[in-house]
Amino acid sequence: MTGFLGSGKTTLISRLLGHPDMGETAVIVNELGEIGIDHHLLRRVDERTVLLRSGCVCCTLRGDLADELRDLLSRRERGEIPPFRRVVIETTGLADPAPVVYTLLSEPVVRHHYSLETVVATVDAVHGLRHDQSVKQVAIADTLVVTKGDLVETAPVVGRLEQLNPTAEVIEASFGDVEPAQLFARPARDPRDVVPSGQEHEDGIRAVCLFLDDELDWTAFGVWLTMLLQARGEDVLRVKGLLNVGAEGPLLVNGVQHAVHPPEHLDAWADDDRRSRMVFIGRRFDGEELERSLAAFNRLAAN
Amino acid sequence: MCSLCGVLLNESWAEQGGDRRARALRLRLMNRVLAHFGLRLDEWAGRVYVLRDRTGRTAVVEDLGAIWREAEQLAGRPLDPLDPEFLLRLA
């Protein structure tokens, strides 16, 4: 759960935790006392980052978070805490959420015991995207919750968010009034259903869509994307897409900067349109050059 | 998992579920690309890769992500798959 300072993140978490469907949930926060309810699995961490030797910021391991997640597992094992099935992690308003994602996907113990379900970002309709960090939070999110709609018209902010991250669901909620089902276990949004305007945010960040008619060779795709992320990882904030790799259903690919989720095979396509489709959010690239480059790598595999 | 810090991890997302044929294809594709930067990749003991440049400098790497990082070091420049000149030569 990410979101800029004062965007209603804590209110949203407090309301969610009071919901009957949110039992067996542990919560990791940066500030105790802000969450206004007495929750038996509330833990606090001091943000502690371990910069790895590559010096890349997104690949910073959040040591505090990894320690806390491992501690939760061992204390559950020893019966010291009630069982839990889900953990809500609240990031600080100014934090870059990429290292949290990186930690969950790559720390050896953590990634074998937890799986990242969803990234939710709150954006307040009054202030919108007022900081580089909130732009990044939006790019990384799977679900965007627009808050404070009781104070101003939300349409301008909602429109802006849909352009910036067309893969995310945008929901509106005042006073944290959201059903857990709206945030969790949502199917991935099909990039085909959204057409980004190509309009850039002031720092050049925008979303571009990619379509490929030919079946994609998975090995070639892996070689291409790993190479792209090495060369342009700082500029590619997000990759999300459905690939036709010749299987029964599409392959879901989801990455946040240098961290890529394990690819997931889906059972079936929604309809007869079997084109591979991807959304890239970032700067200093356009859809056409990505398409041309990927197609070249795909042809290499064929001959 | 991470193209920059892949060395920490024992399995890259891009190498999951691959059999020997996929591994051989990957090696062939990588070498087609790396050749443009004066580099060559060989498998060693079926588990790690050895990357070398024309002067004989080598680097041992464990996964796909780490290969690109080391290749950048050996080549002394970024290996950008969007570079139009590189794509022309690759075709």
Q: What is the pLDDT along chain B (91 residues), one digit of tens a residue?
A: 444 433 334 457 777 656 778 888 999 999 999 999 999 999 887 778 999 999 999 999 887 878 999 999 999 999 999 999 999 999 8
Give the pLDDT score at A131: 78
Q: Among B4, B9, B30, whose Cβ lies nearest the Cβ of A230?
A: B4
| pLDDT < 50 stretches in chain A | none
Indicate the pTM of the whole model. Answer: 0.86
Domain limit, last residue, from A138, A160, A187: A187
The answer to whether residue A140 neighbours chain B at the CB level (below 8 Å) is no
Read off the CATH number of the domain in which A167 is found: 3.40.50.300
Distance in Å, alpha carbon of B48 to nearest chain A alpha carbon: 16
> Within this chain, do residues A159 and A232 fall inside the same structural domain, yes or no?
no
Chain A contact for B74 (CB, 8 A cutoff): no
User: Does B18 lie at the interface with A, CB-CB under 8 angstroms?
Assistant: yes
Same domain, A154 and A236: no
Say if A192 falls within a structural domain: no
The 3-class secondary structure across A103-118, one letter per residue, is HHHHCHHHHHHCCCCC
Exposed e or buried b per residue across B12-38, where buried means at least 16 C-beta atoms within 10 angstroms of its C-beta: bbbbeeeeeebeebbbebbeebbeebe
Domain boundary among A153, A187, A221: A187
Residue range(s) defining the domain that contains residue A122: 2-187
Give the model's pLDDT for residue B9.
41
pLDDT of B2 reads: 40
Q: What is the pLDDT of residue A133?
A: 84
Q: What is the predicted pLDDT for the residue at A45?
A: 67
| Alpha carbons B31 and A79: distance in angstroms, whole number | 53
Same-domain check for residues A71 and A211: no
Contact B9 A231 (CB under 8 A): no
Distance CA A263, CA A248 (A): 15
Residues A34 and A125 in one domain: yes
- Domain residue limits, chain B: 6-90
A293 and A226 in a single domain? The answer is yes
A201 and A172, same domain (yes or no): no
Using one digit for the tens of pLDDT, what is the confidence trace for A154-212? 999 999 998 899 889 999 998 878 888 888 866 666 666 665 555 666 678 889 989 99
Count the domains in chain A. Answer: 2
| Residues B59-63: contacts with CB under 8 Å, at least 24 apart | B61/B6, B61/B7, B62/B6, B62/B7, B62/B10, B63/B6, B63/B7, B63/B9, B63/B10, B63/B11, B63/B12, B63/B15
Neighbouring C-alpha atoms within 13 Å toward the C-beta of A103: 24
